[in-house]
Chains A and B, each alone.
Chain A
Amino acid sequence: MDVLGQNRREGLGRKANSRFVLLLMMLVSAVLLLSSLYSAEASVFRKARESVIDAAAPVLEVLARPIAYIQGLVGDVRDYFNVLEQNQALREENAELRQWMNEALHLRETIAVYERLQTYHAPPEATPIDGFVIGESNDAFARSMLVNAGAADGVRRGQAVVDDMGLVGRIVEVGAHASRLLLLTDIQSRVPVYVEEAGVEGILVGRTKARPAIRFTENSDPIPFTPGQRVMTSGSGGTMPRGLAVGVIAGERDGEAIVDLYANYARTRMVRILVYEFPAFEPASALETMAEDVEGGAVESGAIVVGPTGAD
Chain B
Amino acid sequence: MKAATPTLLGLLGVLLLALPLRLFYGGVPTPILPLVVVFFWSVYAPDFLPSPSIFAIGLLQDFLTGGPLGLWPAVYLFTQYIVLSQRSYFLGREQRVVWLGFAFAAAAASVILWLAMSLLSGVLLPIRGLAFQMATTALVYPVFSGAFSHLHRRVLVES
Contacts and interface: CB of A to CB of B under 8 A. Distances in A.
B77 A29 contact: yes
A127 interface: no
Nearest to A59: B15
A5 B130 contact: no
A304 to B, nearest CB: 50
A151 interface: no
Q: Chain B interface residue count: which class? A: 35 or more
Interface of B: 15, 17-22, 25-27, 29-30, 43-47, 50-52, 54-55, 58, 60, 63-71, 73-74, 77-78, 80-81, 84, 88, 90-95, 113, 116-117, 120-121, 123, 125-126, 129-130, 133, 146, 149, 152-153
Given A18-B46, A67-B19, A265-B26, A8 B91 contact: yes
The 4 closest A-B pairs by CB, nearest first: A266-B26, A33-B70, A32-B70, A140-B130
Contacts of A11: 45-47
A14 B126 contact: no
B18 A135 contact: yes
B121 A187 contact: yes
> Chain B binding site: helix, strand, loop or mixed by DSSP?
helix
B19 A36 contact: no
A187 B125 contact: yes
Contacts of B55: 25, 28-29
Contact of B67 (A34, A139, A269): A139
A21 interface: yes
Contacts of A144: 65-66
Interface of A: 1-6, 8, 10-11, 14, 18-19, 21-26, 28-34, 36-37, 40, 45, 48-49, 52-53, 56, 59-60, 63-64, 67-68, 71, 76, 133-142, 144-146, 172-173, 180, 182, 187-188, 207-209, 265-267, 269
Given A10-B47, A49-B66, A138-B30, A22 B18 contact: no
A35 to B, nearest CB: 8
Contact of A60 (B18, B88, B126, B152): B18
B129 to A, nearest CB: 4
Nearest to A71: B22
Given A142-B66, A265-B26, 8 more contacts: A2-B92, A10-B45, A11-B46, A18-B50, A26-B78, A67-B21, A138-B21, A266-B25
